[in-house]
Structures are given as structure tokens and as C-alpha cells.
Amino acid sequence: MVQMKSHKPDSVHVEQHPESDTASGRTQLGPDGVAEKALDPTTASSGGDIGGAWLAQYDGHRPELTEESNRIMSRRIDMSLLPIIFAIYFCQQLDKSSISFAAVFGFQADAGLQGSEYSWLSSIIYFAQLVFQPLSVYALVKFPVNYWICFCFFGWGISCMILAAFKSFPGLLVFRFILGAFEASISPSMLIIVSMWWTRREQPLRNNIWYSANGIALILGSLLAYGLANWSTSLYTYQLIFIFSGAIAVLIAIPTVFFLPAHPTTARFLSPEQKYLALERVRLNNTGTQNTHFDWSQVRECFTDLKTWGFVVMIFCVSFVSGGISAFGPLILQGFGLGPFQTILYNMIPGAIAIVANILAAFAVQTSKRKSPIILIILIFPVAAAAALYALPRGPEWTQRLLAVYFILQIFQPITPIIFSWAFANTAGHTKKTATTGALYIGLCVGNIVGPQLYMQTERPYYRTGLTANLVVLCVLFGVVILQALYLAYLNKRNNKRRLASGKTGRNIDYSLENSSNWASMRAAEAERNLADGGAAGEVYNANAFADLTDLKNEDFVYSL
């Protein structure tokens, strides 16, 4: 058996700053009392990855990443971070869905809305996200992610509360726009956090867990709306819903800034050795952690990369469906012959479906190590349901069948987080990752803007235009997923040829998609193969992992299908 050498720290240039602790040589104590060098993530690595800079300076014990140590680290990170990002996203969805809850209890009449004004209140939030997405991309590179996300989190909770003060369309429209501006960075921040803490095998499950807060918000939000509608007060039901939804976000935002770390190297719940292991875990991804230098060449590469636009089209398609269903779901249910309180209670079932479907889909991706086949399988259900919902008549005798079909349609919900995981797993370079996030959210925003506009009040209760459009874009999504998988397979073959041309072994194993129990045996087998191939025995596995190279420039990068 060939012994694997532990990899050496990357040689990352660190720009010294006179005011930094690194330059002054001061040390700080980790949570276990062991002295470690302090490294400010906002200044220490203006020309390289923060994780790589930390590893270059770290002179403590470098434990081996084993199955046991990986399991302990994964559990520790899960327990420390997942509840926080889950709570943040839950509040976002509760605020966003509050308008659809209010619609069931006469929001349009109470606020004096006419014609398509309700649809515009649903869509304006995404116009704001489009406008502020470039700022979000820049901020997620230049600022610590925890401070930025908490600033946006707090501001958006306050905006939701202020919405309750308005009783006409103009004021509501303005503050829905402000709400969307603060919201522009929330979900992108989640993706950045997941990519810097978890391996590519682990990311789909974690992304689907925080995204399942959408379902929890639908269930608890429905119950909240039901209870507030029965509260005897001089305020309209929609005003109560906005106040309570915003207040929950504000109350959670304040402590979040103290518990959410900016980077693995600054996490208070990790000792220096654990920080080292946390970085070695994500070395497997070949995507790095964070770089505070905004690299315009990576932005250009992002927008000239064909696969970026493949993911954008996918997100547009699923968001088109999601936007319409989110805004008009309760009204579609009312069209089945349900009363207001029946509608709001039945509206909880899609939330439960979303939670179960998200978790099952994530486990399927983790087990199969493939995302495209899982998306294609999931798509079968909403395509069939959209066709059936279009064809079935309305009336009390059809209510049960219509409800069953509507609930099957909700199975589309895991597709969005899987596409985000798929895009991030196939993008390297910190600026390129944030730019890709911005591009994806352009697709998401446009889809959510257009989707609700095709549900016309004049077509109640059938909404044929909206349901027809849903069926078309779901079929387009099916085709784009297949084309994207074929293109990624081509890129892998191209990288194999590039590795051979540079004197390396052709095939590079992607350990980030493997179970940790296989790492030791697989890497030993890989070492033996390298020796047998000749000239490749000195290869350093993922030597460029923290070099802030983009995926197209890193010949060691393995694309996930």
C-alpha cells in the first residue's frame, strides 16, 4: 500500500496590513485555550483565498482528515449553522408569503386594489431584487457575509412592519420594493455560506434543509393568518399579518449577528485544529472559500460561460411556475369551491409536501451523486399535474380531484435548491461564484415577475393562461437539464485531456462527492494508479483548491452531473 502524504499548505501570497493582527504578530486564544494567529478575513487576503491564507500561516497541529474526524466536524457545523440559516430563510419566506395569506382575507378590498395591482405587489419585490442584485454580488465579496446578511435581515423585517401602515396601492408598492431590495442578498448569502462550510456531497441536503423553511413558513404562516383573522381589533387582517411577520424577523436578526461566523477561520465554536479540518474538508470541492478581492475577469468569465446561462434558464423556468403558484395558490384553491378558512388551512398541505419532497430529493442526490437525473424524475410529477389541472372542470363534485392534482403540482419545489446546489458545485473562484449567484437571481426574479402576470383575474377560477404557460416552461426545463448534463460531461473530458497534456494522470477523482468512509482506500488506490501511470507520483491532490482559480482555468476541477 502506498502511503499518502499529507498535503502541504498552499503557498498563498498574503498582503500585510500595518493595522492587522497578522502584521503585528499578536495572537488570540481559540475556544480550547490554545494560542492561534489572528487573521482578519476582511483584510488578510486581498489577493488570495482567505482559507488558503490562514493555512499558509497556521503552524499548529495538522490532524489527518479521517472518517471519524469528518463525521464529528460535519455534525458540529450542522448543529452550529443550520438552525441559524434556516431561521433566516424562514422569516424571509414568511414575509414574502404574507401578501398571499392576506389575499384570502380580503386584502384587495381592504387596500382598495384594482385590476392587476395585486399581481404587481407580488412582482415588484423581484424588480427590486433585479435592481439591487449587482450590489449584492459586490457586497458578498467585499464584506463579511454575517454582517451583511444581518443588516439586510433587520432592514427587511422593519420594512415588512412599515407595510402595515399603508392602505392604498402606491404606499404598498413602494415598501414592497424596499422589502425586495433588502431581500436581494438573503438567499445568495445562504449559498455562499453552504459552499464555504460543506463538501459538494453534503451541500444539496443542507441547501434543501434551509430551503424547506419555505414549507414551514407556509404551514405556520397559514396558522398565523388564520389566528389573526379571528382576532377582534380595529386593524385589518393584512395589517396584523405584516406587523407580526416583520417583528419575528427583527427579533431574530439581532442575536444572529453574534452567532453567525463570517468564515470558518473566525468561527468561535471551532478550535484551531478544527478550523484546519474544516478547511481541509472543503479543499475537496476545488472551489475555495472566500476572497475579498473583486476580480472583474471572473465576472467576465461568468457571463461568457455557457453553463451559467443553462442554469439561469433552469432557474427562470422553475421560478416562473413558483411565482405564479406562490402568489395565486390560495386563490386557485378558492376556485375549487373552498371558503376563506378552508383555503388557508388547505394551504398548509403544500408546505408539508415541500418539506418532505425537499428532504427526500436531497437524500436521492446525495446517494446517487447525480443531480440532473433527480431533477428529471421530479419534473414528471408537476408536468402531469399542470396538464390535469388545466383539463379538469371546476365545481363542488370535482373538488377532491382538483385538490389531489394541486398537491401533486407542489412536488416541483425541491428543484430550485437542487439547481442552486448544482450551479455552485460547478463554479469555482469566489467572484465568479457570487457573480453566478447574481445571474441565477436575475433568472429567478424575471421568472417570479412574469409568472404571476399570466394569472388573470378575468380567468378565475380556471386561470388557463397561467396553467398553460406552466406546462410549457416545465417542458423547456426538462430539455435544458438534459443539455446541461451533456455539456458538463464534455467539460470533464476536456479537463482529462488538459491534465494528460500537462503530465498528470488523466482522470481526477472528485472526493467531495464520495462518502468519507471511502476516502482513505480510494486515495490509496489513486496513489498506486499514479505510480503505475508513471510521471505522476508527485502529484499533489487539489493543489489549486485555494488558489482562487475559476473552474474553467483549473484543470483539476471535476464537474458534477
The C-alpha cell at 77 is 457545523
Helices (H), 164-236: 169-183, 186-197, 203-211, 213-229
The count of domains in the chain is 1
The C-alpha cell at 216 is 414551514
What's the domain range around 119?
67-490
76-87: string of b/e by CB count within 10 Å (b at 16+)?
Answer: bbbebbbebbbb
Nearest to 141 by CA among 11, 355, 295, 353: 295
Tens-digit pLDDT profile for the chain (561 aa)?
333 333 333 333 333 333 333 333 333 333 333 333 334 443 343 457 888 889 889 998 898 888 888 889 999 999 999 999 999 999 888 877 778 778 777 888 888 888 778 878 877 888 898 899 888 888 888 888 889 999 998 998 999 899 889 888 999 999 899 988 998 888 888 888 998 899 888 888 999 999 888 888 888 888 888 888 888 788 888 889 889 888 988 998 888 888 999 999 999 999 999 999 999 888 878 777 887 788 899 999 999 999 999 999 999 999 999 888 876 777 777 778 777 777 777 878 888 888 899 999 999 998 888 999 999 999 999 999 888 888 888 878 888 888 888 889 889 989 999 999 899 889 988 889 889 988 998 899 899 888 877 887 778 778 888 889 989 999 999 999 999 999 999 999 998 888 888 777 766 666 666 665 455 555 555 555 555 555 444 555 566 667 778 889 888 888 988
Nearest to 210 by CA among 355, 348, 357: 355
- What CATH number should be reported for the domain holding residue 484? 1.20.1250.20
User: Could you write out the DSSP letters of every residue in 307-324?
Assistant: HHHHHHHHHHHHHHHHHH
Residue 538 within any structural domain of the chain: no
User: Could you write out the DSSP letters of every residue in 54-103?
Assistant: HHHH--S------HHHHHHHHHHHHHHHHHHHHHHHHHHHHHHHHHHHHH
Residue 87 within any structural domain of the chain: yes
Residue 50, CB-side half-sphere exposure with 13 Å CA sphere? 27
Q: How many other C-beta atoms lie within 10 A of the C-beta of residue 392?
A: 15
Report the interhelical angle of 203-211 vs 213-229 (nearest 10°): 10
Question: Cα(59)–Cα(390) distance, rounded to whole angstroms?
Answer: 65
Residue 12 within any structural domain of the chain: no
Nearest to 241 by CA among 345, 164, 341: 164
The C-alpha cell at 498 is 488538459
Residues 6+ apart with CB under 8 A from 299: 431, 432, 435
| C-alpha radius of gyration, the chain, whole number | 25
Residue 219, CB-side half-sphere exposure with 13 Å CA sphere? 13
Is-contact 239 172, C-beta < 8 A?
no
Residue 409 within any structural domain of the chain: yes
Question: Cα(89)–Cα(84) distance, rounded to whole angstroms?
Answer: 9
Nearest to 316 by CA among 97, 476, 206: 476
Is-contact 350 218, C-beta < 8 A?
yes
Residue 543 within any structural domain of the chain: no
> Given this model, what pLDDT does residue 291 score?
78
Is-contact 148 139, C-beta < 8 A?
yes
Residue 462 within any structural domain of the chain: yes
CA distances from 320 to 445, 468, 474 (A): 9, 12, 9
> Given this model, what pLDDT does residue 522 score?
56
Residue 550 within any structural domain of the chain: no
Question: Cα(358)–Cα(210) distance, rounded to whole angstroms?
Answer: 10
Instruction: Report residue 37: phi and psi, to 5°.
Output: -70, 135
Residue 299 within any structural domain of the chain: yes
